[in-house]
Structure 1
């Protein structure tokens, strides 16, 4: 990872002088450098809680563009410091606009085959060696913020107020925004009047953007469920209580929580994404641990899910005849949970108008809400600050058209073959976000 330090800017190649005061011209002038920055970040991804070099690169770029930058903003519940950063550019009286870019990558082995593919390996929290990849496009987000920072600094005559650029850590573990708020983000740097962000997607072609007004992304609540039993020899199962069988029964029965307890018009998802138990084929273990993620849009659905998980786990324990002191344990993980991302309708209208003006109506579409989750909404401070996130198309238009014609989907975020098309994606991202920022700061 040390090689990443060579990418840190000393003097930016991009000049703010003697350039036409026009967003497309500003973007085109820096596009080549931005593509190289993107490829460097992509080749050197960092897992959540470890975004040291990515954060340093972004901080250096913001300083070069004239922003006052504070690094190491954010504290996790265990007291450790986060790699969040805040860049402030004051430009007279006016509103304060927060623009967020998340920085972390995922434990995924890259299989895109691009020349700048990641070959990074790292240790996950369990101590296992894993591949690391920007499989969710946060490298696009960081690079776009670099371009937006430069563009907004060059166009100060066209806007007034305060621009707050936030480099957020640990979005993938959905505790980065909470960590920054816990470190008194708004008390230290001022409370924004509005907050915006973008997120790339493989469902739109590069050059296009999408908007959702109102509930846009589902809440995410994480659970740990431990099935406890009585271990023993695999040849004498009658002498114990097998938690592996109990875990299997729990997973199968869990499917009925959504299909038979939840209103089908109020979408919800329960997924068991991780299960660990046992050490050897002929040993019945004492326990099996499972990690669950759940998604919902309403408080009612979230309660239905919680009740269903708890009831199902206990029912399996009772049916297996385990003693009361070994009943299954269900733990809700507050630090790995995030609320619904609600795009403020009034702000969304303003954002959409700016996008249409900048990109043309044919390149701005209405997109449906999805069951994916984001912690950007946490920066809305419990709906006290209007927030809106829009989608940035990242797919190769020809590949997307071919996939759609065949009734297929391109590899999307969180897959090993997610491959944004760099140049048009970054051009559109910087143009779109800069245009929105200027429109909101007039």
Structure 2
């Protein structure tokens, strides 16, 4: 087996079935909110291993429970959804799947963020723990969450009564693949990922003829002006230490199928604000609204402005006590050299809602969480990456959401399964270990 001597025995026997599930999920990815097949495969595995399984929670969400005497309730969480990305890895099991896009036309779909590996590792960890109930006491919970990429799935599951329909957890555990050497895991000593707010800004007003722009409100001009001004929110209005990011990610206006002599009556702008503290996130969001409204008001014929929040996630800040215990378990399993630190990232997650940070949704503010990063780059890919040192190679690798992102199957699944099993055992009451 590829993992160290401290790993519980018997995990290597799970690799063939774990790899089969991973390869199947990789070949058949599904977009956020459409994860029907993925959820069914995940649920089938959990049913076969003796879990009480609920499906259709908050969409296609899967929730499973296995009681094993008195003790804490520990939840393993993985994500079901994939991304609208055309895979360019060239491997035999590459995805060729498509799905209807927003306009009804097919778009390519790929597991470009490692959710297929997360699911396969969670299923394998659940299988091992179900088969070794003599090693722990408590309640094991496993959740396959839909729509993580749209930051809506955790909220949907909770609003559908997730923690009323299964035992509410004491601890929630999760991991995420990233482009660093497979066989390693990484923990943060503070915030791991940023909180974010995604906003839709709509500018509306009388359009008209391109020859008479002075007679129009021109929503597109106001939206374009806002795009050029928004970077100043992060660059000039906040302390660099706050790590605030303001990104205008899309602008849609008019009809590209028409001629260029019509000024649109509507422009839609998507903006994401990211920060490592809730206070900075609140200030950044307020600044975006101020800027877009001021830009519209500066026009001689101001367009109307509507600002709507589409999604929100809190800062992913693992619990220090749980993280210390899990990190120690990983060091015992893999050796200290394969457990490293992780700097705070501007990526975002809806994982915090499943913990105490989501207490406003589930009424249980005391739930603690641990979240770590899982290396996914195999030796061949690492050696082939451009650069002479680790920093240069890291920059040159295909990262999450890239069409060329490709975890090393054996190393990622071996380590990810062992990481979940040992983390769960560190939180569940010991039996005859």
Q: Same fold (TM over 0.5)?
A: yes
The SS at the match of 1:291 is strand
What is the TM-score of this pair, normalised by structure 2?
0.91
Residue 23 of structure 1 deviates from its aligned partner by: 5.0
User: Which string of whole-angstrom CA distances, capped at 9 and with x for unpartnered residues, describes residues 209-228 of structure 1?
Assistant: 00013321111101001122
The SS at the match of 1:392 is strand
Map of 1:186 onto structure 2: 163
Map of 2:362 onto structure 1: none
Map of 1:274 onto structure 2: 250
Residue 277 of structure 1 deviates from its aligned partner by: 0.4
User: In structure 2, do the counterparts of structure 1 residues 387 and 413 end up closer, same or farther at CA, with 3 Å as the change threshold?
Assistant: same
Residue 327 of structure 1 deviates from its aligned partner by: 2.8
Map of 1:19 onto structure 2: none
User: Which string of whole-angstrom CA distances, capped at 9 and with x for unpartnered residues, describes residues 263-282 of structure 1?
Assistant: 11111111111211012311
Of 107, 114, 119, the residue aligned with 1:142 is 119
Mapping of residues 341-380 of structure 1, within 5 Å: 341-380=316-355
Greater displacement, 136-145 / 312-321: 312-321
| Contact 1:30/1:147, CA 8 A, preserved across alignment | yes
In 1: Cα distance, 2:386 partner to 2:379 partner: 10
In 2: Cα distance, 1:438 partner to 1:73 partner: 27
The SS at the match of 2:268 is strand
Q: What runs of 5+ residues in structure 1 fail to find an aligned partner?
A: 1-21, 75-81
In 2: Cα distance, 1:68 partner to 1:314 partner: 51
Map of 2:379 onto structure 1: 397
Residue 307 of structure 1 deviates from its aligned partner by: 2.3
Map of 2:397 onto structure 1: 410
In 1: Cα distance, 2:295 partner to 2:285 partner: 16
Aligned positions, number: 409
In 1: Cα distance, 2:16 partner to 2:318 partner: 33
In 2: Cα distance, 1:32 partner to 1:417 partner: 24
User: Which string of whole-angstrom CA distances, capped at 9 and with x for unpartnered residues, describes residues 88-130 of structure 1?
Assistant: 1111111110110111001111111111111111113443421
Greater displacement, 245-254 / 399-408: 399-408
| Contact 1:93/1:161, CA 8 A, preserved across alignment | yes
| Contact 1:261/1:304, CA 8 A, preserved across alignment | no
In 2: Cα distance, 1:284 partner to 1:377 partner: 43
Of 167, 171, 176, the residue aligned with 2:153 is 176
Map of 1:17 onto structure 2: none
In 1: Cα distance, 2:91 partner to 2:80 partner: 21
Map of 1:297 onto structure 2: 276
User: In structure 2, do the counterparts of structure 1 residues 269 and 128 end up closer, same or farther at CA, with 3 Å as the change threshold?
Assistant: farther
Of 24, 27, 45, the residue aligned with 1:40 is 24
| Contact 2:386/2:396, CA 8 A, preserved across alignment | yes
In 2: Cα distance, 1:419 partner to 1:290 partner: 32
In 2: Cα distance, 1:223 partner to 1:247 partner: 13
Of 370, 376, 381, the residue aligned with 2:356 is 381
Residue 183 of structure 1 deviates from its aligned partner by: 1.4
In 2: Cα distance, 1:242 partner to 1:191 partner: 52
The SS at the match of 1:214 is coil
In 2: Cα distance, 1:109 partner to 1:98 partner: 32
User: Which string of whole-angstrom CA distances, capped at 9 and with x for unpartnered residues, describes residues 348-376 of structure 1?
Assistant: 00010000011110000011110111111
Residue 25 of structure 1 deviates from its aligned partner by: 4.3
Residue 241 of structure 1 deviates from its aligned partner by: 2.7
In 2: Cα distance, 1:351 partner to 1:248 partner: 47
CA RMSD of aligned residues (A): 1.6
Query: Does 2:38 match 1:54?
Result: yes
Residue 403 of structure 1 deviates from its aligned partner by: 3.7
Map of 1:26 onto structure 2: 10
In 2: Cα distance, 1:167 partner to 1:318 partner: 46
The SS at the match of 1:167 is strand
| Contact 1:213/1:344, CA 8 A, preserved across alignment | no
**Runs (4+) of structure 1 moved beyond 3 Å?**
22-25, 401-404
Map of 2:207 onto structure 1: 231
Query: Does 2:190 match 1:214?
Result: yes
In 2: Cα distance, 1:381 partner to 1:170 partner: 20
In 1: Cα distance, 2:177 partner to 2:313 partner: 20
The SS at the match of 2:346 is coil
What is the TM-score of this pair, normalised by structure 1?
0.89
In 2: Cα distance, 1:440 partner to 1:376 partner: 18
In 2: Cα distance, 1:400 partner to 1:385 partner: 38
